[in-house]
Structure 1
Amino acid sequence: MRLIYACFVILLCAIIFCEYVADFVVLQNCKWPEIRRKKYVDDPLRAMIIADPHLLGPNHGHWMDKLYREWHMKRSFQAGSRLLQPDIVFVLGDLFDEGDMVNDQNFHKYVMRYLQMFNLPAGIPLISVVGNHDVGFHYKMHPYFMDRFEHYLNYSMVHLYTIKQIHFVMINSMAMEADGCRFCSEADSALQTISSTLFCMQHPHVAECARTRRHPYSQPIVMQHFPTYRISDKVCREHDAPVIEAFRERYHVLSKEATDTIGDLLKPRLAFAGHSHYYCHNINRLGIDEYTVSSFSWRNNVNPSFMLATITPDDYAVFRCKMLPQQFVINSYLSAVFACLVLFACQIKNYWSSKRLAATEIAHSKQH
């Protein structure tokens, strides 16, 4: 009975630690990076940047997979948001795994699960960038999917978002084909408008900008699902992809032309993306830092991570925050089971030792 009780306590401790405590322990290592320049340093923006949670839908994936991995995503996000207290959270696309496949009823359930998982205190914005699993690749995008995403999550095309004098441009990567389709034309028009807005911020005394309401100018930051053009993760200064594969334009990354268009119109200072499911830091085709954010889900990356960015209008610092690895949880449970087996083995050994000792004593007493 004591053995069963001891094993129960060991397994219970393993469950409590892995499911409720471990995320807090691991994320204690994550700190907001410090800004080097002194100007604006007293009031920087602290942004938490996540990518590719891929919440499972009704068609793909086992329900146990959905239950367990999404539970850990929720625990990781809750731990991270409580410990780090960001000013804003970005999710860089592929919020859903089947966003372009489900009907309105299931999409509504999807959104409710997503908002419950990434629940934030009032006053902290959650900015959701559209991904190909949310509305489809370029060939599959339809007003039905786009309008539905925008209805629930505000942004589905190209949008300028300003907070603390810092300008973020959210871009629909699938609409950057420049082939004259409706969505590509809308994206190009929006980029042109944002470019003009940024120009007027920078040159407020130009006649054409006289009637434009302006924020103070700072170079924008690009937030999108596809990374800008690169041949593969070979060009990354840091990466965690286990296998290096060549990237295909318009499928894995933006085309050269789309990348150059973003550079010419926006002149960004920094870029964040997702889509590949693996982390990469590189100096991209535009000559700026680009961070490809790892998937937030164990389903896509067993060693997930997210980014912490401390940003001011004239500077930034970025830190990669490593989350609880899936293997750590597996090893913890295996260790608990192994400890129980050791206890059982010791109990069995003691049992047979006592039996042999008793038999020896009986034999010895008979001899006398």
Structure 2
Amino acid sequence: MIGVASMRRLFRIITRIELIGVIFWTVILFWGEFWVTSNAISNCGWTTWEHWKADARPTRIVVLADPQIVDDNTYPGRPRALERATEMYSDIYLHRVWTGIATWLQPDAIIFLGDLFDGGREWKDNFKWEAEYNRFRRIFPDRNVPLYYVVGNHDIGIGTGVLSETVDRFEKFFGEANGVFELGNHSLVLLDSLSLMNREDQSINNKSRKLLQNLATEKPELPRVLFTHIPLFRPGDANCGSKREGSKSLPLTKGYQYQTALDQDLTSEILTSICPVVIFSGDDHDACEYTHEYLNPITSTLVYTQEFTVKSVSMAMGVWWPGFELISLWNPGQLDYTFQTKLCVLPSQYTIWMIYGISALLTIVTLAVVYLIAISRRPWQAIPDDSLMIRFLKTPVTREFFNIGLSALLIYSILIYYCMI
């Protein structure tokens, strides 16, 4: 057996390694669960990219697209345990981002661009809806900031799939699906284009159509900013710009309760009725920038209006790097360009998990090396039948492995708890 002196020396080594291991995992978990997200959001601070005059007092808005909180409809066929784990981690990620926005950006308003839920349109009973609504509020608790909500196709459906009861239910909890409000000396227009796509039932499209008619007959007193869920029509090969992760264009496709872009005639009607200076949309989950060209019916001039399709803020919506949009509005009355915008890109949760995996492997290798060094310097006089693995399980190194693992789990639990309050 190992001598007493050798055992004491090994215990001293193990104790030092245990302390180093706990410190190492404290740093790694703090980085992954707190710092990396906070750092990404703080780097998007308003003053780092705004270019107004020194005396400007802009109104600042955060736009979040497609949180689409994971539920039973998200990954059909996935094992239930994995599905629950996906729900938990995506909720943690969204809440972490929400906390970072409130802490580092402190916007004047926050606008959600629809698809708050994933299966909202599928829930027939209000009990399920209210349970998921309460979950949504736990993820995005009140931060004393005005909130505005655009409705998404995963919330109420699309076109002929929209039912009056699903729209009424959404409006009961989140406010009117259509509306105009003044902020930052601009008129912000929230448009339910999903109901507008129902051309057969006037009881469904009435509110959206009435909004367009009212705006079309009024000369804009303030610059109008349009917020809608589905992107407006553009050619299928139109380049979305360098901020897009996937294919360089937004594909024009249709399917069950979805359509990747509005119809061309409806797009033209929206543009000429609202005459927006800029448009923000969601739905696609990836970033896309496109410039629309149309004839202003009031001035009879050709107008070019940028549309920004905003990345999904969720880690579970098919983009490696989620994100959100920042809008800065400043309209003292004599500027031609009254808004500035920036895409704030968030860290990849999958990269964070890979760092955790590499760190775990490094921990195991380090402990194995310590064990091999220990037995090479003080050969054992062990029972001949003992295998190397049995010897390893009998050593203090094993205790060290479990101590570090339990410490890391405790640290992780504390950080998760901190992030969720």
User: What is the TM-score of this pair, normalised by structure 1?
Assistant: 0.84
SS of the residue 1:155 aligns to? coil
Q: Which residue of 2 aligns with 1:282?
A: 290
Aligned to 2:226: 222
Is it true that 1:171 corresponds to 2:191 in the alignment? yes
Indicate whether 1:19 and 2:41 are aligned: no
Answer yes or no: is the 8 Å Cα contact 1:134–1:149 preserved in 2.
yes
Aligned to 2:213: 192
Aligned to 1:57: 71
**DSSP 3-state at the match of 2:171:** helix
Q: Which residue of 1 aligns with 2:243?
A: 239
1:91-141, Cα deviation, whole Å (9 max, x unpaired): 10100001111221121122222223223432x211111000000121211
Give 2:148's match in structure 1, choosing from 127, 142, 152.
Answer: 127
> What's 1:85 paired with?
106
Matched, 1:332 2:358: no
Distance, in Å, in 1 between the alignment partners of 2:272 and 2:58 is: 27
- Alpha-carbon distance change, 233 to 29 in structure 1, aligned in 2, over 3 angstroms: farther
Deviations 1:184-229, CA, capped at 9 Å, x for gaps? 2332122111333x42xx5xxxxxxxxxxxxxx2120110101111
Higher mean C-alpha deviation, range 289-298 or range 55-64: 55-64
Separation in 2 of the partners of 1:64 and 1:237? Answer: 34
How many angstroms apart in 2 are the aligned matches of 1:233 and 1:121?
41
| Inter-partner Cα distance in structure 1 for 2:345 and 2:213 | 37
Of the three residues 260, 269, 272, the one matched with 2:277 is: 269
Contact kept, 8 Å, 1:135 with 1:145, in 2: the verdict is yes
**CA distance 1:180–1:101, shift in 2 (3 Å):** closer
Query: Structure 2 unaligned runs (5+)?
Result: 1-13, 76-82, 295-303, 382-421
Say whether the 8 Å CA contact 1:160–1:194 is kept in structure 2.
Answer: no
Tell me, what secondary structure is at the counterpart of 2:120? coil
1:107-146 → structure 2 map (5 Å cutoff): 107-122=129-144, 124-146=145-167
Q: Which amino acid aligns with 2:29?
A: I
Matched with 2:404 is none
**Counterparts in 2 of 1:317 and 1:71: CA distance versus 1, 3 Å:** same
Partners of 1:233 and 1:239 within 8 A in 2:
no
What corresponds to 1:213 in structure 2? none
Question: Any conservation in 1 of the 2:251–2:260 contact (CA below 8 Å)?
Answer: no
Q: How far off is 1:160 after superposition?
A: 0.9
**How far has the Cα of 1:288 moved from its partner?**
0.9
**For 1:17 and 1:118, how far apart are their aligned partners in 2?**
22
- Describe the superposition over 1:271-297 as per-residue Cα deviations: whole angstroms up to 9, x where unpaired: 000000001122134421111000111
Shift of 1:325: 1.3
Q: In structure 2, what is the Cα distance between the partners aligned to 1:264 and 1:221?
A: 13
How many residues were matched structurally? 338
CA RMSD of aligned residues (A): 2.4
Q: CA deviation at 1:177?
A: 2.4
Partner of residue 208, structure 1 = none
| Helix, strand or coil at the partner of 2:290 | strand
Q: What is the alpha-carbon distance in structure 2 between the residues aligned to residue 90 and residue 233 of structure 1?
A: 29
Q: In 2 relative to 1, CA 336–276 (structure 1 residues): closer, same or farther, beyond 3 Å?
A: same
Q: How far 1:347 moved relative to its partner?
A: 0.5
Deviation at 1:251, TM superposition (A): 0.9
Asked if 2 retains the 8 angstrom alpha-carbon contact of 1:238 and 1:282, the reply is no
Checking the alignment, whether the CA contact within 8 Å between 1:35 and 1:310 is kept in structure 2 is: no
Please tell me whether the aligned partners of residues 53 and 94 of structure 1 are also in contact (alpha carbons under 8 angstroms): yes
Q: What is the correspondence of 1:275-354 to structure 2 with a 5 Å cutoff?
A: 275-286=283-294, 287-300=304-317, 301-313=319-331, 314=335, 315-354=338-377
Structure 1 residues 262 and 129: alpha-carbon distance in aligned structure 2, compared to 1, 3 A threshold: same
1:36 Cα deviation after fit: 4.2
**In 1: Cα distance, 2:289 partner to 2:237 partner:** 9
Equivalent residue letter for 1:107:
W
Q: Which amino acid aligns with 1:341?
A: I
Q: Which residue of 2 aligns with 1:207?
A: none
Return the letter of the residue paired with 1:311: L
Shift of 1:11: 3.0
Q: Deviations over 1:157-191 (max 9, x none)?
A: x2112123211111112123262422223321221
Q: Answer with 61-70 or 236-245: which moved more.
A: 236-245
1:267 Cα shift?
A: 0.8
Matched, 1:30 2:44: yes
Segment drifting more, 132-141 vs 54-63: 54-63
**Which among 236, 253, 266 is matched to residue 258 of structure 1?**
266
Name the CA distance, whole Å, in 2 between partners of 1:110 and 1:322.
27
Partner of 1:160: 180
Matched, 1:99 2:120: yes
**What is the one-letter code of the residue matched to 2:146?**
P
Query: For structure 1, which segment, 168-177 or 85-94, has the greater mean C-alpha deviation from structure 2 after superposition?
Result: 168-177
Structure 1 residues 291-300 or 108-117, which shifts more?
108-117
Displacement, 1:357?
11
Deviating runs (4+, > 6 A) in structure 1?
none
Q: Which runs of 5+ in 1 are unaligned?
A: 203-216, 359-368
For residues 36 and 164 of structure 1, do their structure 2 counterparts lie closer, same or farther at Cα, with a shift above 3 Å needed?
closer
